[in-house]
């Protein structure tokens, strides 16, 4: 499970399938995150997709690509500014070593 709290400007988060296909085929769509919004990935989405924020100066809010596109924002370009996000991940234990053991390596 991933919780992402976004602070600052609105922006889009891209969802991408975890496969070896071309980047265009892997792209599923985007979510528009508003300031002070909370984005949660669980279950099927968490186990089969990656999420990321592309490096760009503006976001185009395209109907059909941005899942939560509103009529007000459809086909508008949103300028990006400084943003801060806090991400919390619930990761299964994958090592028998403790954190201190891993830091010693």
What is the model's pTM?
0.73
CB atoms within 10 A of CB 9: 16
The structural domain count of the chain equals 1
Mean pLDDT for all residues in the chain: 84
CB proximity list for 103: less than 8 A, separation 6 or greater: none
What is the structure's pLDDT at 94? 60
Distance CA 15, CA 2 (A): 13
Report how far residue 47's alpha carbon sits from residue 5's, in angstroms, rounded to the nearest whole number: 20
- Tell me the three-class secondary structure of the chain, residue by residue: CEEEEEEECCEEEEEEECCCCCHHHHEEEEEEECCCCEEEECHHHHHHEEEECCCCCEEECCCCCECCCCCCCCCCEEECCCEEEEEEECCCCCCCCCHHHHHHC
Host domain of residue 55: 2-104
Q: Using the predicted structure, report yes or no on whether residue 102 has a pLDDT greater than 60.
A: no
The per-residue pLDDT for 60 is: 97
pLDDT at 9 over 60: yes
Q: How far apart are CA 35 and CA 59, in angstroms?
A: 14
Q: What is the pLDDT of residues 15-29, one digit of tens each?
A: 999 887 787 789 999
Whether the pLDDT of residue 2 is over 80: the answer is no
């Amino acid at each position: 499970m991933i919780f992402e709290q976004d602070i600052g400007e609105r922006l889009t988060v891209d969802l991408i399938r975890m496969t070896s296909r071309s980047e265009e085929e892997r792209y599923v769509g985007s979510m528009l995150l508003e300031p002070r919004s909370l984005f949660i990935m669980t279950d099927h989405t968490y186990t089969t997709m990656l999420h990321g924020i592309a490096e760009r100066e503006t976001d185009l809010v395209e109907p059909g690509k941005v899942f939560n596109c509103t009529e007000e924002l459809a086909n508008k370009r949103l300028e990006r500014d400084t943003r801060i996000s806090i991400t919390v991940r619930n990761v299964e234990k994958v090592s028998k070593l403790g954190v201190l053991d891993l830091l010693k390596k």
